[in-house]
Structure 1
Amino acid sequence: METVLVEDIKLETIRKNSYDISYFLMIIELVNESIETSEQLNHRKHFDPSKYRRLDDF
């Protein structure tokens, strides 16, 4: 039978937790990116071309 040290168990727990945390952070990052993208799209909807001069006008 294999002997398992307490340190090994702690390390494994830390590895699992850090994996969960990184996974969670990745999801948060994706959500933030999608929010930014949707804000940019909303901003583009309100784009009024009459406020800007065309290059032809110069």
Structure 2
Amino acid sequence: GRCAVIGAPDWTPNARHALPASSPVEFRHFKIEEEAAAWEWLAARPTGEEATAAPERK
């Protein structure tokens, strides 16, 4: 699976060390202005009333 972290602080290095090396979870940090790219990388869409549209999954 994938986990996108958006905004500060970037805690992805700590998260990687908390999981076994064989863990299938891939972490990636995005700046707050890169939220759309994060959703695209996840191949997902946000939920909720305040969410912005994400690209369709291809």
Q: TM-score scaled to structure 2, two decimals? A: 0.21
The structure with the largest alpha-carbon Rg is 1
More strand by share: 2
Higher relative contact order (CA closer than 8 Å, sequence separation 6+): 2
